[in-house]
Amino acid sequence: MNSIIRSILKTSVFLLAFTVGTNALSIAQTHNFATFNIRYANQNDVGNLWADRLPHVASLIQFHQIELFGVQEALHNQLTDLSTELGYKYIGVGRNDGTESGEYAAILYDAKKFEILDQGTFWLSPTPEKPSKGWDASLNRICTWGKFKDESGKTFYVFNIHYDHIGQQAREESSKLVMAQVSKINKENAPAILMGDFNVKPDNAAYGTITSNPDWQDARLISEVPSYGPAGSFTGFDWEKMPDGIIDHVFVKGNLNVIRHGILTDNYGKKYPSDHFPVLVEIEWK
């Protein structure tokens, strides 16, 4: 009888260890990503200067355990500030000259968790290979991308964009270009995440070009947990008014589950860290 009991106990311990190990593996394959327009460092933003906002941007990233995120409007000094504060690396170039001049659509990531395998930037214009302004856009606009590998060996792509805020033709053509460029870059059809400040709401044709592609889905709409937060993502630093239209989006493609999606309204003393809310997604490999 004792031998039977010992056998049962050994089997139970083995099954428990197997279950714990399986759960640990599942957790290791879940990551928190975000898109965050951090507002460029503008000396005219009285009361919302970058030097004052920086620690709150960094603490938001740390508190929500965001491991990789795309930023828009970031100037070179802002990227070095964030990299120092967080201990993260980044990829990207300035949109004006392809080096350090002008705003970046950079990707910051925790190098302890992700390895960068490949990277690049293209311009949202008919000449995507060089610094340029496209169609009726008011400014140069770019997409920075990276191919990453996580600790479990899973590879994936992240594309981070910033569409023009004025030119509707530019926004529509940018979506067409991005879809074509993503297919060209991601030849192996690996899982991919497309994020950024699209400057369009879901009823815009530029948004529809992406969601009409059967490969891509809006993370907000397929999140296992209903999307958290307000209906909008742009505040203009206005504390008194809650935004009602989301223009910062995250789309996913491939063998990915969206566990959570949220528009984060973190604030300090009736001030926001930026004039956009960051959008967080928790993603799990299927």
CATH of the domain at 90: 3.60.10.10
| Residue 259 structural domain | 31-285
pTM exceeding 0.85: yes
Q: Is residue 17 part of a domain?
A: no
Q: What is the pLDDT of residue 23?
A: 47
All residues at 6 or more sequence positions from 75 whose CB lies less than 8 Å from its CB, including other chains: 40, 41, 94, 102, 103, 104
Specify if 261 maps to a domain. yes
- 85 in a structural domain: yes
Distance between CA atoms of 47 and 53, rounded to whole angstroms? 9
| One-letter amino acid for residue 67 of the chain | E
Query: Residue 109 domain-assigned?
Result: yes
Number of Cβ within 10 Å of residue 152's Cβ equals 9
Q: How high is the pLDDT of residue 286? A: 86
- pLDDT at res. 10: 47
- CA 48 to CA 44: how far, in whole Å? 9
| Count of structural domains within the chain | 1
Give the per-residue pLDDT at 235.
Answer: 96
Residue 157, classed as helix, strand or coil, is: strand
Distance CA 196, CA 160 (A): 5
In this structure, what token pair is assigned to residue 40? 């460029």
- What letter would DSSP give residue 117? E
The residues with which 193 forms a beta bridge, in sequence order, are 158, 252
Q: Domain for residue 152, yes or no?
A: yes
Task: Decide if 214 is inside a domain.
Answer: yes
pLDDT at 3: 52
The secondary element (H helix, E strand) that includes residue 182 is helix 168-185
> What residue ranges of the chain have pLDDT lower than 50?
1, 4-6, 8-28
In a domain, 5, yes or no: no
Cα–Cα separations (whole angstroms), residue 133 to 91, 137, 198, 209, 220 = 21, 6, 16, 21, 30
Within-domain flag for 63? yes
d(CA 69, CA 61): 9
